[in-house]
Structure 1
Amino acid sequence: MTIVDSSTEFPLVEHHTATVGDVRIHFARAGAGEPLVLLHGWPQTWASWRRVIGPLSQKYTVIVPDLRGLGFTSKPDSGYDTNTVAKDVHGLVRSLGFDKIYLAGHDWGAAAAYAYAAQFRDAVHKLSIFEMVLPGFGIMEGAMQPQPGGNFLWHMAFQSVPDIPFALIEGREDIYLRWFFEHFAYDPTAFSEEDIALYVNAMTHVGSLRAGLEYYKSYFLSAEQNQEHAKTPLSIPVSAWGGEACLGGYTKQCLELAATDVRGGIIERCGHWIGEERPEFVADHLLEFFGE
């Protein structure tokens, strides 16, 4: 069933589902024109792009799926490595009748976007990466090393451990996720209580917590895949941006190891949550970069 929401937060968005292989994908769609696909990260859903969709839909057909295991997309037991997640999205794009897309991703969605561009090299015009350091290039691995005050990416290692993270987080999703939204933001007030509740509720869907942790358990497989992809760097134009209060210049530094034509830098007054913290910057950049 198609649901159209014309509110300010979700402008002119249609909701659909499509079955691709072993996964039933929920996705939002808006606008008309060439296809532009936006991929979200953990612990978010398609809604992390909701403040960006409106401007982009004035020029593009904007397609925003919930990734495997998250949001309203189904939650298989396996397949959370980035190559497989990228194949899910590619199957969705082809099922909608599109061959070549503009592609942007944030967090794990950015890692899946890179895997998409690396696997389907003739199927992406341009790639934009926000606030992610790709597994397998050594930069993320270095950021996992303990630092004073807990100022390191401790959750990457913790959430890759079997069973224990699920046992400790289940029933405490609100406490756990709120910490990330507050501590990884430049301005924690960018998140309203309604924003936080949106993602906490999504993470309490049956299977969502288990499935979300599978991305981290699959980290090492994704790293191996990326090391193989990197043997042939991407030749398409790539933009790579990190938030001032989070990954900073590391995102661009990492993508320069994976592609030959990389631009980007640091988003001022922004942490990790680009869709909530700096949606105007994101929309303006994508319109400019993809429209060149």
Structure 2
Amino acid sequence: MNASAKSTHPPEITPASPPAGFTSATARVNGIQLHYVLGGNGEPVVLLHGWPQTWYEWQRLLEPLAAHYSVIVPDLRGFGASEKPATGYDTRTLAEDIHSLVQHLGLSRIRLVGHDIGLMVAYAYAAAYPTEVHKLVILDAPLPGVEPVWSLVKASRWHFGFNATPHLAEQLLAGRERYYLEYMYTTSAFNKTAFTAAEVDEFVRSYAAPGAMGASLQIYQAFDTSAAQNQRSALTKLPMPVLALGGDHSFGPKIVAMAELVATDVSGGSIPNCGHWVAEENPEYLLAQLLAFLP
């Protein structure tokens, strides 16, 4: 290679460590190896991250939540330090991974919080195991197949189609992960400087790992399967209390109405001064809402 040519490989970034009082672990569940972070004491709360993020999405909230709860924060199948198999990226299978992890940890009933893709997985979990979810929190995303929001979002979010094109996006993004991720964090935010450099670095490190970007994009490629699953699940509304929140510059104005299509006991609304990235743009407000709702 010409010595003057620029390498497309990202610089080495030290992996992020869990905050004080938390440990990192792995478990063999549902046929794959899942990574998760665990800390705190009390009733269990499971936090599910979105795309393009990992467990580290929640790092600002972990210590304050751990003062009240046992907090379990997995990397979903295909993300972060979890295994990246070739199949299994519909949200029902992703939910089964998390349910198997919960069982592995000896837990029977949980409080469940999901943002973005994590919202979709959290709904699939609650629909499959309604008696095992004490309370459900869904944050700033549509549910595949739940109309009219789903079709409107698919038509307006260009990256859904791009991410869902097998192999193309992965090849175009190889070595350019930072550009794409920073673009997504900025364009979907109301507060354009919400992410710290350390947060961006950690996500870039995770998505630049071999096979990571391609694995994560398979969730988009499985949306039609997930949509069909949700349409069947929505025939029976969720019985547990549901808190639906979205950024006031994102899904906030419509997320409660969407949740009411699939659940009987819904509260929530908009997070002020916030776009899509609720845990970074207004973590104080989100934390207050979680602490008020989860008991």
Task: Return the TM-score normalized by structure 2.
Answer: 0.92
Conservation of the 8 A alpha-carbon contact between 2:56 and 2:199: no
> Within 5 A, what are the aligned runs for 1:151-190?
152-190=156-194
| Aligned mates of 2:243, 2:36 — CA distance in 1 | 24
| Aligned mates of 2:63, 2:188 — CA distance in 1 | 25
1:21 maps to 2:30:
yes
Matched residue, 1:196: 200
> Within 5 A, what are the aligned runs for 1:55-134?
55-134=64-143
Shift of 1:170: 1.5
What letter corresponds to residue 191 of structure 1 in structure 2?
Answer: F
1:144 maps to 2:154:
yes
Instruction: Give 3-state SS (helix, strand or coil) of 2:130's partner.
Output: coil
The count of aligned residue pairs is 280
| Aligned mates of 2:177, 2:255 — CA distance in 1 | 28
Conservation of the 8 A alpha-carbon contact between 2:142 and 2:153: no
| Aligned mates of 1:229, 1:193 — CA distance in 2 | 40
> Within 5 A, what are the aligned runs for 1:240-255?
240-255=244-259
Conservation of the 8 A alpha-carbon contact between 1:5 and 1:12: no
| Aligned mates of 2:212, 2:82 — CA distance in 1 | 9
What letter corresponds to residue 150 of structure 2 in structure 1?
Answer: M
Describe the superposition over 1:78-103 as per-residue Cα deviations: whole angstroms up to 9, x where unpaired. 00000000000000000000000000
Matched residue, 1:148: none
Describe the superposition over 1:54-107 as per-residue Cα deviations: whole angstroms up to 9, x where unpaired. 111111100000000000001000000000000000000000000000000000
Name whichever of 61-70 and 159-168 sits farther off: 159-168
Conservation of the 8 A alpha-carbon contact between 2:48 and 2:74: yes
Percent of pairs identical after alignment?
43
Conservation of the 8 A alpha-carbon contact between 1:32 and 1:57: yes
Matched residue, 1:38: 47
Instruction: Give 3-state SS (helix, strand or coil) of 1:187's partner.
Output: coil
After superposition, the CA RMSD in angstroms is 1.5
Instruction: Select which of 267, 279, 285 maps to 1:281.
Output: 285
Instruction: Give 3-state SS (helix, strand or coil) of 1:125's partner.
Output: strand
Matched residue, 2:58: 49
Conservation of the 8 A alpha-carbon contact between 2:119 and 2:139: yes
Instruction: Give 3-state SS (helix, strand or coil) of 2:25's partner.
Output: strand
Matched residue, 2:271: 267
Q: Give the ranges of 4+ consecutive aligned residues of structure 1 lying more than 2 Å apart after TM superposition.
A: none
Describe the superposition over 1:208-235 as per-residue Cα deviations: whole angstroms up to 9, x where unpaired. 1111100000001000000000000101
Describe the superposition over 1:118-147 as per-residue Cα deviations: whole angstroms up to 9, x where unpaired. 0011100000000111000121221222xx
| Aligned mates of 2:209, 2:257 — CA distance in 1 | 36
| Aligned mates of 2:277, 2:21 — CA distance in 1 | 23
Conservation of the 8 A alpha-carbon contact between 1:184 and 1:245: no
Conservation of the 8 A alpha-carbon contact between 1:83 and 1:225: yes
What letter corresponds to residue 77 of structure 2 in structure 1?
Answer: R
Conservation of the 8 A alpha-carbon contact between 2:30 and 2:96: no
Conservation of the 8 A alpha-carbon contact between 1:36 and 1:62: yes
| Aligned mates of 1:260, 1:21 — CA distance in 2 | 30
Describe the superposition over 1:174-216 as per-residue Cα deviations: whole angstroms up to 9, x where unpaired. 1111111011111111112222111111101121111110000
* Cα separation, partners in 2 of 1:154 and 1:117, compared to 1, 3 Å: same
Matched residue, 2:3: none
| Aligned mates of 2:251, 2:173 — CA distance in 1 | 25
